């Protein structure tokens, strides 16, 4: 253990030694000027003792302000976005700088249209992610691996208003119902921009009853005050997993305008509600145009063809970075 010693006691000894010497001088000289000098000097030194503090002279003290944005740059982006499959799904994401090329990364997505009824009446599907953002090539390239979790009833119960899902909207509200390992890669320079995303939505809880159970009503839940989770509405029960990925690349016409192409695919990799139930939900391919504005704002509109259902798709995204 480090020893601690104080600088206060030695200071006291020095003061009293000085006062003693001054009094001896007073006895010898008995001058009024000496009396004034002794009183003045003694007052100043004793007053300084009142402000003396103990100092740990052996243990080093390292303090760092975690809120200092010069040491730890922070960026936060708020995204308002909607598409023809998921509907409105606002998102907040950002980074907290740790070193020159490493930052803590976070993301929150509010899948507002994938909700249920159940006991809590809303059950919005929420996604929370955390990971690291690694930058290369003078920060032109960023690779961000993350681990996330989803909360609601989609994965654990096949529940919620999910397009073509065929499940019940009256399932159990479940926190941490699924895990989402994912990675995002971004690149941007003077002329080229691009993005790749891959996320695997894996159910880690099973709350929706036995696969194939399509009973017309549910059993009242005592823990929920006797409330019933509602009729299954003929929905298929069980759990399922999703794979979601996209890639886009574009040409930066100037500092404001970009043109590019976007491909996106969503499919189930496992669906135990029935044999062979897994399916492709969409495969989108089409162009995008983006407008960047001063103040960290951008608008992007994407449209094209859905090769799964032979119809059109569209996406709109507005971002503001702080």
Is residue 240 within 8 Å of residue 155, measured between CB atoms?
A: yes
Task: Give the model confidence (pLDDT) of 180-232 as tens digits.
Answer: 999 999 999 999 999 999 999 999 998 876 665 544 444 444 443 333 333 33
Q: Which of 33-42, 155-164, 249-258 has the highest mean pLDDT?
A: 249-258
pLDDT of residue 82: 96
Res 306 pLDDT > 70 = yes
Is residue 137 within 8 Å of residue 98, measured between CB atoms?
A: no
pLDDT of residue 9: 46
Is residue 114 within 8 Å of residue 85, measured between CB atoms?
A: no
Query: What class, spelled out in words, does domain 74-321 have in CATH?
Result: mainly beta
List 105's β-bridge partners, or say none: 95, 131
pLDDT of residue 279: 86
pLDDT of residue 263: 98
pLDDT of residue 298: 97
CA distance 79 to 319: 4
Report the percentage of the chain scoring pLDDT > 90. 52
CA distance 205 to 292: 42
Question: What is the C-alpha radius of gyration for the chain, rounded to an integer number of angstroms?
Answer: 33
pLDDT of residue 276: 75
pLDDT of residue 57: 52
- For the whole model, what pTM was predicted? 0.73
| Closest by Cα among 251, 242, 276, 129 to 190 | 251
The 3-state secondary structure of 249-308, one letter per residue = EEEECCCCEEEEEEEEEEEEEEECCCCCCCCEEEEEEEEEEEEEECCCEEEEEEEEEECC
pLDDT grade for 49, boundaries at 50, 70 and 90? very low
Is residue 278 within 8 Å of residue 302, measured between CB atoms?
A: no
Task: Give the model confidence (pLDDT) of 163-172 as tens digits.
Answer: 666 666 777 8
pLDDT grade for 320, boundaries at 50, 70 and 90? very high
pLDDT grade for 286, boundaries at 50, 70 and 90? very high
Residue matched to tokens 């492709």: 280
Domain ranges of the chain: 1-62, 74-321
| Closest by Cα among 233, 241, 227, 242 to 169 | 233
pLDDT grade for 6, boundaries at 50, 70 and 90? very low
Is residue 166 within 8 Å of residue 236, measured between CB atoms?
A: yes
List 317's β-bridge partners, or say none: 81, 300
pLDDT of residue 39: 47
Report the percentage of the chain scoring pLDDT > 70. 67
As a whole number, mean pLDDT of residues 270-299 equals: 91
Structure tokens given for 199: 């996320």
Segment among 49-58, 61-70, 133-142, 305-314 with least mean pLDDT: 49-58
CA distance 273 to 303: 32
Task: Give the model confidence (pLDDT) of 97-150 as tens digits.
Answer: 999 999 999 999 999 887 766 555 677 889 999 999 999 999 999 999 999 999
Res 10 pLDDT > 80 = no
């Amino acid at each position: 253990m480090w020893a601690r010693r104080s600088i206060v006691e030695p200071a006291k000894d020095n003061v009293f030694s000085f006062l003693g010497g001054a009094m001896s001088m007073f006895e010898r000289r008995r001058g009024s000027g000496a009396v004034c000098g002794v009183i003045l000097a003694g007052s100043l030194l004793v007053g300084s003792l009142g402000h003396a503090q103990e100092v740990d002279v052996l243990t080093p003290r390292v303090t760092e302000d975690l809120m200092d944005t010069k040491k730890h740059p922070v960026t936060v982006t708020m995204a308002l976005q909607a598409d023809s499959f998921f509907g409105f799904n606002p998102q907040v994401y950002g980074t907290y700088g740790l070193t020159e090329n490493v930052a803590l990364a976070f993301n929150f997505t509010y899948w507002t249209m994938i909700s249920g009824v159940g006991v809590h009446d809303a059950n919005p599907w929420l996604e929370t992610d955390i990971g690291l953002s690694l930058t290369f090539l003078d920060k032109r390239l960023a690779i961000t691996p993350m681990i996330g979790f989803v909360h609601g009833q989609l994965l654990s119960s096949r529940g919620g208003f999910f397009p073509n899902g065929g499940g019940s909207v009256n399932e159990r509200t479940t926190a941490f119902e699924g895990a989402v390992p994912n990675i995002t890669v971004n690149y941007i320079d003077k002329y080229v921009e691009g993005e790749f995303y891959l996320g695997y939505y894996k159910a880690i809880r099973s709350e929706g009853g036995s696969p194939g159970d399509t009973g017309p009503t549910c059993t009242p839940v005592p823990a929920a005050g006797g409330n019933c989770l509602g009729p299954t509405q003929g929905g298929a029960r069980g759990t399922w997993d999703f794979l979601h990925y996209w890639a886009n690349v574009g040409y930066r016409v100037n500092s404001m305008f970009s043109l590019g192409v976007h491909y996106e695919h969503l499919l189930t990799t496992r669906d135990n509600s029935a044999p062979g139930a897994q399916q492709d939900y969409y495969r989108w391919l089409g162009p995008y145009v983006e407008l960047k504005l001063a103040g960290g704002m951008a608008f992007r509109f994407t449209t094209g063809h859905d090769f799964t259902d032979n119809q059109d798709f569209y996406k709109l995204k507005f971002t503001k970075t702080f």
